[in-house]
């Protein structure tokens, strides 16, 4: 049985994986996660929606004018929206856990 020595050797070694979701990974610098939107800075220009390569941003009307909504199920987290926003109303966060039971839960308003 060649497997027994291998089993015994690995039995007391430090594990190679993380017990996710109970243990969180350290986020690397520059991670592009879920968008944070600052309504007070937005001027409703729509540049973010026009330049989004995944068509994950839609401009909608609200009580203050036009504003984007983000479809996280389509988003590729490229960071173009953050980079091109003239008023810095969009900032990519370090939040990387994006999950939901329905598509409606993946709309970031």
How confident is the model at residue 1, as a pLDDT?
58
How confident is the model at residue 61, as a pLDDT?
96
Q: What is the pLDDT of residues 9-49, one digit of tens each?
A: 888 888 888 898 899 888 899 999 999 999 999 999 999 99
pTM of the complete model beyond 0.85: no
How confident is the model at residue 11, as a pLDDT?
85
How confident is the model at residue 42, as a pLDDT?
96
Domain 29-108 has CATH 3.30.70.3270: yes
Residue 85 near residue 35 (C-beta atoms within 8 A): no
Q: Which positions ≥6 away from 48 have C-beta within 8 Å?
A: 57, 68, 80, 81, 84, 85, 90
Q: What is the pLDDT of residues 69-101, one digit of tens each?
A: 999 999 999 999 999 999 999 999 999 899 999
């Amino acid at each position: 049985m060649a497997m027994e020595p291998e089993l015994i050797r690995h039995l007391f070694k430090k594990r190679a994986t993380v017990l996710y979701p109970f243990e969180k990974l350290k986020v690397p610098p520059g991670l592009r996660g879920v968008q944070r939107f600052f309504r007070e800075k937005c001027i409703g220009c729509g540049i973010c929606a026009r330049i989004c390569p995944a068509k994950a941003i839609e401009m909608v009307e609200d009580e203050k004018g036009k504003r984007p909504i983000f479809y996280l199920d389509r988003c590729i987290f490229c960071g173009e929206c953050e980079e091109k926003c003239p008023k810095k109303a969009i900032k990519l966060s370090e939040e990387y856990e994006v999950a939901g039971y329905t598509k409606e839960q993946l709309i970031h308003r």
